[in-house]
Structure 1
Amino acid sequence: MIPARSFEGRSVALFGLGGSGVATAKALAAGGAAVTAWDDNPESVCKAEREGLQTANLRGADWSTFSSLVLSPGVPLTHPKPHWSVELARAADVEIIGDVELFSRERTARAPGAPFIAVTGTNGKSTTTALTGHILRAAGRDTQVGGNIGRAVMTLDPPEPTRNYVVECSSYQIDLAPSINPSAGILLNITPDHLDRHGTMQHYASIKERLVAGSETAIVGVDDIWSAQIADRLERTGREVVRISKRLALTGGLYADGTELMQARDGKIRKVASLEGICSLRGQHNAQNALAALAACLKVGLKHDEIQAGLSTFPGLAHRMEQVARKGNVLFVNDSKATNADAAAPALSSFPRIYWIAGGLAKEGGIEPLRGFFPRIAKAYLIGEAAPAFSATLGDDVAYEISGTLDAAVAHAAADAAKDGAVEAVVLLSPACASFDQYRNFEVRGDSFRQAVAALAGVDMIGGTN
């Protein structure tokens, strides 16, 4: 735990008592703050009280006594309407911050030189965070990994000068972290997402920009117009910018040439790393993730051979193009993390012959943006609420069935793929949808896929859960 000592002696309101909220409340209390916590869910309040936290309904509180409102990231800050706790805090001129801001202040106070890599982007940030942490650990660095992936940021070990931090930051967290100041800030990409929370693409992009704008070195993917414009703006302000691209041969920066990672600098081009034969980093999207990790690790002092060694031993992440089993010529891949069309595109682009399981709670645009990948799909197996709409999009272009449930989709896809004469046929769960119509979250959906595959006769499971 990181005790939030910069809040010692202050009275702090905290709203949102999920896992990260409870962890943050404990960190504040450990640092000497007087914390008053609340949640709209009575069960969460009761659980927090059982864990020794002081709770009180903040609607009736005297907000003039609070120095800060610490808000859980999932609570609406601006759109579609500010949460009532936000309105009360603003009326009392109380600052509104989140757990990443607490971490940033503690690092600045305790160990401002501690290497801090912050990762954001619409897609790819979890893999990039895990990969960067893996490379640093493989090189022998004391490394803490958390934030929007795995451990809540305030449960990490306290800042020390030689302790490295790799923190995944969602747009929600950045919105609540005004002083975030990483050694290396990574912005992978920006595509439409979370617009119900941020209102417009302009607002969403501006929040993402804050992370790299506060960084010593801004590492920016320039394959989309929003991010490319951010890189240009930052460079004009004098910020050190490292551009990365998975598809453009840059004249300055890092880019992918197939599986080779290239560096262009001072008019010279050289290979700095390779992804050849690394199955966990298969696909163009993973080239971008690797480029970002490479740039960040160079920033904090790793050598090229250390980075290559870390890339080569990266096991991958569960639910992100996770290879879970084989049966004859059929490979089973769990990409449950693909909760929108843009997130599903990398997996669909990585395999030539796909038996695609898709569906769930659809997001805006459905699967129309994936039309270019339809020739790769041998057949689609549609599940959940999105099945009728997805079937209309597929139309006569792709053979499909409405399977309804994931178990049925796995059984039918496996049977059809077994008859395929391709060198490798892939049964791919890449839903392009949220999971909430049938599952609590994408992890539960991915675990269900793995269990359904394991129940098939004659399958060889691969490597546990990564």
Structure 2
Amino acid sequence: MISVTSFAGKTVAVFGLGGSGLASCLALKAGGAEVIAADDNADNVAKAAQAGFTTADLRAVSWANFAALILTPGAPLTHPAPHWSVLKAREAGVEVIGDVELFCRERRRHAPNAPFVAITGTNGKSTTTALIAHLMKVAGYDTQMGGNIGTAILSLEPPRIGRVHVIEMSSYQIDLAPSLDPSVGILINISEDHIDRHGTLEHYAAVKERLVAGVQQGGTAITGVDDIWCRNIADRLDRAGKRVVRISVRNPLPDGLYVEHETIVRASGAARSEIARLGGIGSLRGLHNAQNAACASACALAIGVATDALQNGLRSFPGLAHRMEQVGRRGNVLFVNDSKGTNADAAAHALSSFADIYWIAGGKPKAGGITSLTEYFPRIRKAYLIGEAAAEFSGTLGDRVAHEMSGTLDVAISSAARDAEASGLAEAVVLLSPACASFDQYRNFEIRGTAFRDIVQALPGVKSVV
């Protein structure tokens, strides 16, 4: 745990008592602050009280003595309207910040030169974060990983020289970290997302930009340039005097890292050098993962990882659970769990990564269905439809893709495994990438993915993927 000393002797309100909120309460109390904890959820308030924290209805207390409001990222700061606690704080002239801001202040106080990597982007944040942490560990670094990827940042070990903090950040977390100053900041990409919380795409992009714009002096800003938003941001960072490393998986660059023929290439003027090869790395298949790998490689190089250690780290990366996770192989059949593919855009990444697919799809449908995936239909040998969306998906597939109404995951896996094995293909892929939420049959996508993994690994003759 990181003790937050910057509010020692002061009173701080903490609103939102989930995992990161309780971690903030513990860290502040350990650092000598008086904590007043609150939440709109009575059960969360009761848990905080049982943990020994003072709780209160922040609507009914004086804010005169509060030094700050530590806000959960789940509560809106600006759109569609500020949370009531934000309005109370503003009315009292109290700053509103989040747990990442507390981390930044502690780092500046005690270990300002400790490596701190912050990662954001509309897509690919978690894979890039996990890959960077893996590369650092393989290279022998003391590595702490957390933030939006799972472990609350204040639950990690404290910053110190030689210890690398690798932190995934959502736009909500960036919004609550006004002095965010990583030594390496990574902005992977920007596309329309979370407009309900940011009002416009322009504001959403501006929030994301703050992560790389805030890179500390002497640090490195790594920015994808395959979308117009990020290209413009990279240009602004250049003009501001930041050290910028541009990343592309679509075009060669005159300066930066780009991916060509499954190889990460570093360009500097007329010089070109091969950094790493991605071919044959199952956990990094697809153009989207090439972008993640290039960003992670640029980060590793900025920190000082040698290219041979970088290549070893890329090859040994296991990937993330439920995201194109290779869970088994039997003969010519590879089984891939992409349960995180809960909409058509996410499923497109998986479908674009394989050639001969026996596709398990369906669940609780989302707006638009799978009509946007028609360009990938030629890759699908057969589809196995499950859950509430089965009839709708059958109508979309029509005569263009052979399919059957499997109904449940176990039936779909059995049928797909049988057909894939009988295909005679050099490699047939049984792919769960549902393009749907799980809530009709499973409580969340993780439980659905775990069920897929368990069923596959129970099939006779299935071996783990090395």
TM range (shorter): over 0.9
1:195-274 correspondence to structure 2 within 5 Å: 195-215=195-215, 216-274=219-277
Cα deviation for residue 388 of structure 1 reads 4.7
Q: CA offsets per residue over residues 64-101 of structure 1, 9 Å max, x none? A: 22221111112222333332222222222222211111
Report the equivalent of 1:90. 90
CA distance in 1 between counterparts of 2:361 and 2:319 reads 22
Per the TM alignment, residue 293 of structure 1 is displaced from its structure 2 partner at its CA by 1.1
CA drift at 1:7: 1.4
Matched, 1:371 2:344: no
Residue aligned with 1:433, SS? coil
Question: What's the offset of the Cα at 1:319?
Answer: 1.3
1:12-91 mapped onto 2 (5 Å cutoff)? 12-91=12-91
Separation of aligned partners in 2, 1:38 and 1:193 = 29
Structure 1 segments (4+ residues) deviating >6 Å: none
Aligned residues: 463
1:300 and 1:163 map into 2 onto residues whose CA distance is 11
Whole-Å separation in 1 of the counterparts to 2:83 and 2:264: 45
The alignment status of 1:301 with 2:304, answered yes or no, reads yes
* Change over 3 Å in CA distance of 1:54–1:382 after alignment to 2: farther
For 2:309 and 2:222, how far apart are their aligned partners in 1? 20
Q: Secondary structure at the match of 2:203?
A: helix
Which aligned pairs between 1:47-196 and structure 2 lie closer than 5 A?
47-196=47-196
Q: Which amino acid aligns with 1:443?
A: E
Per-residue deviation, 1:345: 2.3
| CA 436–12 in structure 1, closer or farther in 2 if over 3 Å, else same | farther
| Alignment equivalent of 1:347, drawn from 347, 350, 368 | 350
Cα distance per residue 1:169-197 (max 9 Å; x no partner): 11121121111111111111112222332
Alignment match of 1:420 (pick from 388, 404, 423): 423
Match of 1:280 among 280, 283, 286: 283
Code of the aligned partner of 2:230: S
- Distance in 1, matches of 2:52 and 2:166, equals 30
Q: Distance in 1 between matches of 2:392 and 2:229?
A: 29
Equivalent pair of 1:123/1:343 in contact (CA under 8 Å): no
Deviation at 1:459, TM superposition (A): 2.7
Q: Secondary structure at the match of 1:6?
A: coil
TM-score, structure 1 normalization: 0.93
Which residue matches 2:447? 444
SS of residue in 2 equivalent to 1:435: coil
Which has the higher mean CA deviation after the structures are superposed, 274-283 or 435-444? Answer: 435-444
- Please give the per-residue CA displacement for 1:234-274, whole angstroms capped at 9, x wherever unaligned: 22222221111112111111011122110110221111222
CA distance in 1, matches of 2:172, 2:112: 24
Indicate how the Cα distance of structure 1 residues 387 and 170 shifts in structure 2: closer, same or farther if over 3 A, else same.
Answer: farther
User: What are the Cα deviations for residues 335-367 of structure 1, in whole angstroms up to 9, with x where unaligned?
Assistant: 122233333222211110112223344555443
Select between 439-448 and 239-248 the one with higher mean Cα deviation.
Answer: 439-448
Matched to 1:448, the amino acid is: A
Q: Specify every segment of 5 or more residues in structure 2 that has no aligned partner in the other structure, as ranges.
A: none
Looking at structure 2, the residues matched to 60 and 385 of structure 1 have their Cα atoms a distance apart, in angstroms, of 46
Q: Shift in Å at residue 386 of structure 1?
A: 4.2
* Distance across 2 between alignment mates of 1:388 and 1:35: 53
Question: How has the CA–CA distance of structure 1 residues 203 and 128 changed in structure 2, closer, same or farther, with 3 Å as cutoff?
Answer: same
Map Cα deviations across residues 353-410 of structure 1 (whole Å, 9 max, x no partner): 1122233445554433332212111223334454454444434433334444333333
State the distance in 2 between where 1:283 and 1:338 align.
14
Corresponding residue number in structure 2 for 1:8:
8
Residue 123 to residue 421, structure 1, CA distance change in 2 (3 Å): same
Moved more, 414-423 or 240-249: 414-423
State the one-letter code of the partner of 1:295: A
Identity of aligned residues (%): 63
Structure 2-normalised TM-score? 0.93
Counterpart-to-counterpart distance in 2, 1:399 and 1:96 = 55
How far 1:438 sits from its partner (Å)? 4.0
CA distance in 1, matches of 2:385, 2:171: 30
> Could you say what the CA RMSD is over the residues aligned between the two structures, in angstroms?
2.1
Counterpart Cα distance in 1 of 2:104 and 2:125: 19
Maintained 8 Å contact 1:358/1:382 = yes
Output the CA distance in 2 between the equivalents of 1:253 and 1:121: 18
Q: 1:191 to 1:395 in 2, by over 3 A?
A: farther
Retained in 2: the 8 A contact 1:249–1:256? yes
- Report the alpha carbon displacement of residue 203 of structure 1 after superposing the two structures with TM: 2.0
* Residues 214-238 of structure 1 deviation map (CA, whole Å, 9 limit, x = unaligned): 1132111111222222212222222
Shift of 1:313: 2.1
Q: What is the CA–CA distance in structure 2 between the aligned matches of 1:330 and 1:49, rounded to whole Å?
A: 53
CA distance in 2, matches of 1:389, 1:89: 48
Task: Choose from 413, 426, 439 the match for 1:410.
Answer: 413
Q: 1:435 to 1:181 in 2, by over 3 A?
A: farther
Letter in 2 for 1:124: G
Q: Match for 2:358: what amino acid?
A: Y
